[in-house]
Amino acid sequence: MRLRPFIKAIATLLLLLAGVAAASAQTTKVRGRVTDESGQGIPFVAVYFDGTTVGITTDLDGYYNLENRNLSDKVLTAQLLGYDSQSRTVRPGAFSTVNFCLRLSDNRLAGAHVKADNKKARRLLANINAARSRNNPELHEKYKVRFYNKMELDLTHPETQLQGAVLRKKFDFVFDYIDTSAVSGVPYLPVMISETVAVKEHTNNPSATSEHIEANRISGVNPDMNLLSQFTGSMHLKVNFYNDFINAFDVQFPSPIMPSALLYYNYYIIDSLMVDGRKTLVVRYHPKPLVSTPAFDGEMRIDAEDFALQSIKATMKNEVNVNWLRDFVVEANYRRMPDSTWFYKSDGFYADFSMTMRDSSKVLSFIGRRSLTYDEPEFDFVPTVRRSDGPVKVAQDAGHMDEAYWQSVRPSPLTEKEQDVYKMVDEVKSLPIYRNLYTLTYTLVNGYWDIGAVGVGPFYQLISYSDLEGWRPYIGLRTSKDWSKKDRFTVFGAYGTHDRQFKGGFKWEHLVSREPWIKLEARAKYDIFQIGAGDNAIVEGNMFASMFGGSHGTRPCYMSEFRGSIAREVNPSFEYRAMARFRRFYATGDRYVPMIAPDGSLIPSVAVNELRLTARFTKDETVNKGYFMKHSLHSKWPMVELSLSGSIPGLRKGDVGYLQPELALHWKLRTPPFGMSDIWADAGTIIGQVPYPMLHVHEGNSTRLLNKQSFSCLDFFEFASDTWATLFWYHSLGGYLFGKIPLVRELKLREEFSFRATWGQLSERNDGNPTHFGGVASAVKAPMLFPLVYPGDASKAGIYMGSLGKTPYMEAGVGISNILSFLRVDCFWRLTYRDDPTRNFAWNIGAEFRF
């Protein structure tokens, strides 16, 4: 049996495990192209169902697509002034490809001539902007609205992806559910469906928004184990075109009605209609030729009296520098309220996700969709939302509503095939091959292979290599959610073939509450530890670090640790962590971490008895709360952490005392259309006399692996401080420059720039560098001598770890990312402390997955 097709089929079936989805088999779907007699596409042709307002105009190349849930509409017409109109009968409740070839009504005419009308568009956009305060739904003083949200996930080309006799036999029943996309024309299989009913409250003074999910169900998901409900409302993909940019999958698309939209789009005012007795302008927009940032192409309807957005359809242009998205369409509809303001009526999106942009039935891809319908809003009510409330609350019985409830709340009933999706997914889950594939997927994502109540892993640590340890086999076990959803126990053991030492550890986690998040943790371990590594460093105990040189040049020591902590979320913007930690660091010799007193005696180890309190502040943060872990997903505001730690001396042999306040910041600053900055900054000071393992050893990186929170041209143990401030700044232009260069644009590369700097001071009481005291080690006042930076290198003998002077250490870098959609290469140069020419330049390679 050939292995490659089988592996591909397994990867395909993994899509039956994840997401939220639905079918729409009883919708009339039409796509096609309108051309002239020469075969050229005709832009701006009105294509509509006769006797309805359901229609669209063709784009600049003559393409269109439409969907209509009214099965009584059967006649589709294409019409443009100067051409003979044509009508075709379509099959209701099915997908059809309908192409039109229009003839000029007068042979003396030259046909359609496309020219942007940006002068009129400038006046129209100015009027829209002037009326924004009245028409933007988010600018109401307050509102409360109930909505229904249906989300979908579909596997494309299922007959091709599920090929093979064994798989066809096992999954033959699913082919009864195949449908076709009106956007791309590809067949798809609905694999999951989610329905949600929620109430949203919003106030502007004070600014606060919350959603209360009253009901939710996801096909194939046990309602008592459903952690996805928090993502099925409207909070996590907000579609409001009155915002300057639409943030979708962390990609910023400029809104066609933003005040500066003429920088991005050409406009074509092509028609005026009467909709609900009101004059409505039909406007097409198209990205300007030199726009290299992500942009939309589509059509919108503007109320000509209120200058309000009535409806809009926005399609992502395929040539933009966006990964994993072959097609992306956003639609929104607004309604006029009795007080002449406007509010949401409905919105939705369509996204075709794929590992490659090639259009082939053999390419693995899936479709995600959302349709959200709003009830009539309330503006006169007593708000219950508070700024201290979480953004999303899920009712305890949200997953237990019966079918009668769902029938009563749906804006339109599910078709028979849509309802059968629930049954199909349950049947798929009962198959042994599904359970095996689920286990494989969970292992790849979480690192552990769960066998009932116990998991084995992490798989990426099972074997590794380092100079200190040699080969390091590793085994880890932890209890799974099948054992308990409140408590998790983890143990691990490792052995070094070179140092011949056993390492091991134990951890207990207890989730007291998910809302608000309260978690207890206790752990004990003995393992190697790298002093002066950045927070994201991969330096030891990792097979990928071993494969790519991650252990080269490291300076690890042994460390024992006993720790207990509590993390508590006070409100969505503030949480704190309290911790007691007892650590001991053991010397590992001159080559790695020597511990020598000024009098020349050897110090076997040093210890700290630390108490630490950390306060974390953020705003409008989207988080994923799992069974035992809480992950930050998105916030447009900076995250700030303020911590105070101190060690109590005199409790154990060789322990030290100090006080350490520290301030840290992380901010993903979006600057469309000029990309996004990623900023880390921290500052702190150590009050007291401590040996160098307790100092702030500035973050070095002697490997070829990119670590964004370390200095690529800085060796481990090169500088140390007891007062410091550090900045890491990275900026991606997202292809803004490369997108303007022919041929290079096709590669979809992205420009990367960086600046990294650290400043520090070292007091005399903590300075262990003998050269600062005339080369006399006994004159050093610090409790421990500093190590050599390059032990064993005769050409750099006598260079001890030092301190920064008045000049900060600085690096600058440039790079190219999105190579093959996930690789990046960065080059860095030292700007200061350039005495060693071998370390003035470094290059790193990294991997990152971004849309």
DSSP code string of 591-606:
TS---B-TTS-B--EE
Query: Going along 261-324, which residue ranges are E strands?
Result: 265-275, 278-287, 296-303, 308-316
Residue 481 burial (10 A CB sphere; 0-12, 13-18, 19+)? middle
Conformation bin of residue 732: beta by default, left when phi > 0, alpha when psi is -120 to 50: beta
Q: Which residues pair with 132 in a beta bridge?
A: none
**Distance in angstroms (rounded) separating the CA atoms of residues 152 and 193:** 5
Dihedral angle, C-alpha 423, 429, 430, 436, nearest 10 °: 170
Are the CB atoms for 717 and 789 separated by under 8 Å? yes
| Amino acid present at 159 | E
pLDDT at 759: 96
Cα of 299 vs its chain's centroid, Å: 29
Asked whether residue 533 carries a pLDDT value surpassing 60, the answer given is yes
Q: Which pLDDT score is estimated for 2?
A: 37
- What is the Cα–Cα distance from 248 to 347, expressed in whole angstroms? 14
The arithmetic mean of pLDDT across residues 515-532, rounded, is: 92
Separation between Cα atoms, residue 312 and residue 314, nearest integer Å: 6
CA distance 600 to 504: 32
Check residue 722 and give left, alpha or beta (phi > 0: left; psi -120 to 50: alpha): alpha
Percentage of residues in the chain having pLDDT higher than 70: 83
Helices marked H in 574-663: none
Q: According to the model, what pLDDT value does residue 364 have?
A: 61
Q: What is the pLDDT of residues 128-181, one digit of tens each?
A: 999 998 999 999 999 999 999 888 777 776 666 666 555 555 566 566 666 777
pLDDT at 173: 59
Give the residue among 695, 704, 729 at the shortest CA–CA distance from 804: 695
Return the pLDDT at 359. Answer: 55
User: Please, which pLDDT band fits residue 222 given cuts at 50, 70 and 90?
Assistant: low
Weakest-pLDDT range from 382-396, 437-451, 822-836: 382-396
Which class for 726: exposed (0-12), middle (13-18), buried (19 or more C-beta within 10 A)?
Answer: buried
3-state per-residue secondary structure call for 52-91:
CCCEEECCCCCEEEEEECCCCCCEEEEECCCECCEEEECC
Residues 6+ apart with CB under 8 A from 435: 429
**Out of 57-71, 214-228, 429-443, least confident range:** 214-228
* Per-residue pLDDT reduced to its tens digit, 618-658: 988 877 777 888 878 778 899 999 999 999 999 999 999 99
Whether the Cβ atoms of residue 611 and residue 579 lie closer than 8 Å to each other: yes
Type and span of the H or E element at 560: strand 556-571
Q: First-to-last CA distance in the chain?
A: 36
Minimum mean pLDDT range among 142-146, 200-204, 437-441: 437-441
Greatest CA separation found in the chain? 104
User: Is residue 43 helix, strand or coil?
Assistant: coil
> Angle at CA 136, nearest 5°, toward 369 and 54?
50
CA triple 119-124-127, angle to 5 deg: 135
pLDDT of residue 36: 85
Residue 337 tokens, joined: 């309220």
Q: What is the mean pLDDT of residues 7-30?
A: 47
pLDDT digits (tens, 9 = 90+) for 543-561: 666 665 554 567 889 999 9
pLDDT band at 343 (very low <50, low <70, confident <90, very high): very high
Beta-carbon contacts of residue 81 (< 8 Å; ≥ 6 apart):
none
Which has the higher per-residue pLDDT, 724 or 619? 724
Reply yes or no on whether the pLDDT at 671 is more than 60. Answer: yes
pLDDT of residue 584: 97
DSSP for residue 7: H
Contact predicate 846/706, CB 8 Å: yes
Average of per-residue pLDDT values in the chain: 83
Q: What CA–CA distance (Å, rounded) separates 233 from 146?
A: 11
The string of DSSP letters for 803-826 reads: ---SSPEEEEEEEEEEETTTEEEE
**DSSP, residue by residue, 145-180:** EEEEEEEEEEEESHHHHT-SHHHHHHHGGGGGG-EE
Q: Is the peptide bond before 808 cis (omega within 30 degrees of 0)?
A: no
DSSP track, 395-429: -TTGGG--HHHHHHH-SSPPPHHHHHHHHHHHHHH
Dihedrals phi, psi of 243, to nearest 5 degrees: -70, 150
Q: In this predicted structure, what is the pLDDT of residue 59?
A: 82
Mean pLDDT for 582-607 is 93
Average of per-residue pLDDT across 299-304 = 92
Is the per-residue pLDDT at 16 higher than 50?
no
Residue 700: name the closest of 526, 561, 828 by CA: 828
pLDDT above 50 for 4: no
pLDDT for the residue 595: 95
pLDDT of residue 220 exceeding 90, the answer is no
**Rounded Cα gap, residues 711 and 784, in angstroms:** 25
Given this model, what pLDDT does residue 341 score?
92
The identity of residue 33, as a single letter, is: R
Question: How is residue 526 annotated by DSSP?
Answer: E
DSSP β-ladder status, 823-830 and 841-847: antiparallel
In degrees and rounded to multiples of 5, residue 692 shows phi and psi of: -65, -30
Placement of tokens 């607004």 in the chain: 334
Helix (H, G, I), strand (E, B) or coil at 141: coil
pLDDT number for residue 422: 66
Q: What is the pLDDT of residue 739?
A: 85
pLDDT value of residue 464 = 86
Token pair listed for 3: 């292995």
Residue 473 confidence (pLDDT): 93
- Look at residue 186 and tell me whether its pLDDT is greater than 90: no
Is residue 10 exposed (0-12), middle (13-18) or buried (19+ Cβ within 10 Å)? Answer: middle
